[in-house]
A and B are shown apart, each in its own frame.
Chain A
């Protein structure tokens, strides 16, 4: 186990190195951070040149990369060109918002997916199962902005037009102290995320539940005369939920990155929107910082998920 972990850790470090090179080249070369000053009248050519020099934009690219990497390793992600604030501070301001949104959505998703998946599996090929399957296929095939715009149109725009109580669309301005306001603003974005994610999760629960329900020990449990509820929840679900651990574990790091489209549509001040706003401006320290944090989380959680899986399922040995 330990040698396995050591090997995985070395591989992960190598992967992270490739990620940093890849992200650095792509973000650094995709936009000129000086572009915002291009039309500025107040700055002379010399000023611009001096600023370039000071920001280190004139160094050769490998030097720029190594400088950035060296600082990043010390937890110093640099300053945004646009807002002039430290990137780490900007991220730490946005991260809580994103986590509230994403974890609420994730928990509701798992709950609904378990429910739908189990119903589907127990009543395989029934009308209920077919309806659930049809809906999960639909959910699987939808771009999230389809739902986001649709919900907005119905519950915000049309409800307002019909004089019904309507839900707010923009989350930018609300009283941060008031938990009720927070809840109201969460409804629409969370619903979008839940609708889209539940589809895949429910499918997964159904498949693994069906697999377990077909096993001998479940038949034995039934033959012993246990109630179907005990068989279902105490025997079958425990094993059927194991694969879900992997899926959730692998999804958690992506929660940090937020939901770019949903956050943009509903003006939710989270990580995804931060990324999108600053990617458009070519502000590479911000973009790089977010990419680095999210992809490191992905790499780390991949290993963690493996370890946790061996803990919850002792049959599996890492080697």
Chain B
């Protein structure tokens, strides 16, 4: 039909001659259409900016500074979000608590995704009694209500807690324990998803070709099987991040998690509970708004990612 320079080619032909979109481009296209997910990303970036900029401007020392005279005051010019029962500035604590909550969430997700991927992958790849044993174990962990499991594990690891120093900052050892506990109790769903995916993938021709070419199990696992389940893993870890931050809030709220003076959004609310009868609304409003906002943003992004990676699930939603 039309010949000449590319610009002369009618639209239809250009479309036909354009190279096909890569899977990544297709995913990005679908994700872009998800307005709520984009909103979630923007919200999350704003939150990160607030916490990072905030912790540069407001020092951690200020977040832990006790002022018995100015205790339990509502928002004022000097304390924008009021003070807690020992007179610590809540604005500074929300910033540094947010740092801890996000840090705990991210590290716990990395841990749980690693465990889930390995357990699910190994179970599916080797099959037989390995599969049976690992899946029964997964099922056992899933059968114990998650909050009960968190508490029992929290008590188990929380026997002796030591503080330690990184980058000249002292962290309560409880931070590490919370990460461990959340990571160890949240890998089960991903393990099942990865197992299901690997089970169908390992029957594919290219896997038997790799095997006959002499590829090792480890190579097949990490070069072929895992990259092909990446979509599921990315979606699960995004939604898992929301879950992990919530879990941190729950555990710390119950007093088993991050220990004061180190602030976290969860343990700030423990205090709020004790003083809510006296009407100290600011102790409740600010930390919980941050939790809800964060989880909401992450869930929106996770939802968008799920639709983008698996268009079938988005059909009606």
Is A69 in contact with chain B by the CB < 8 A criterion? no
Taking a contact as CB atoms closer than 8 A, the residue among B144, B156, B277, B291 that contacts A143 in the complex is B291
Does the CB pair A140–B299 fall under 8 Å? yes
Which of A15, A157, A264 gathers the greatest number of chain B CB atoms within 10 Å? A15
Contact indicator B288/A27 (Cβ below 8 Å): no
CB distance from B256 to the nearest CB of A (A): 9
Beta-carbon contact of A26 and B152 below 8 Å: yes
The verdict on B272 contacting chain A, using a C-beta distance below 8 Å, is yes
Q: Give the shortest distance, in Å, between B26 (CB) and chain A (any CB).
A: 23
Q: A153 contacts B140, CB within 8 Å?
A: no
A145 engages B140 (CB within 8 Å):
no
Please provide the chain A residues from 7 to 49 with a CB less than 8 Å away from any CB of chain B in the complex: 11, 14-16, 18-19, 22-23, 26-27, 29-31
Question: Do the beta carbons of B155 and A31 come within 8 Å of each other?
Answer: yes
A295 CA to B146 CA, complexed, in Å: 11
Task: Return the contact of B288 from the options A146, A152, A290, A294 (Cβ within 8 A).
Answer: A146
Residues of A within 8 A of B249 (CB): 143, 145
A137 touches B296 (CB 8 A): yes
Q: Are B276 and A18 in contact (CB under 8 A)?
A: no
Q: Are B299 and A137 in contact (CB under 8 A)?
A: yes
Interface size class of A (residues with CB under 8 A): 35 or more
B159-A145 in contact (CB<8A): no
Measured CB to CB, the closest approach of chain B to A96, in angstroms, equals 19
Number of interface residues of B (CB under 8 A): 42
Q: Is the CB of A18 within 8 A of B316?
A: no
A interface residues with partner B (beta carbon < 8 Å): 11, 14-16, 18-19, 22-23, 26-27, 29-31, 137-138, 140-143, 145-146, 149-150, 152-153, 156-158, 161, 169, 207, 210-211, 214, 254, 257, 260-261, 264-265, 275-276, 279-280, 282, 287, 290-291, 294-295, 298-299, 302
What 11 new A-B contacts, CB under 8 Å, besides A157-B276, A211-B316, A299-B143?
Answer: A19-B140, A19-B143, A26-B156, A145-B250, A145-B273, A156-B277, A257-B148, A279-B155, A290-B148, A291-B144, A298-B142
28 interchain pairs, CB-CB under 8 A: A11-B139, A14-B136, A15-B139, A15-B140, A15-B143, A27-B155, A30-B159, A31-B155, A140-B299, A141-B295, A143-B291, A149-B273, A149-B284, A152-B276, A153-B276, A153-B284, A157-B279, A158-B279, A169-B277, A261-B254, A279-B152, A280-B155, A291-B144, A291-B148, A294-B144, A294-B145, A299-B143, A302-B143
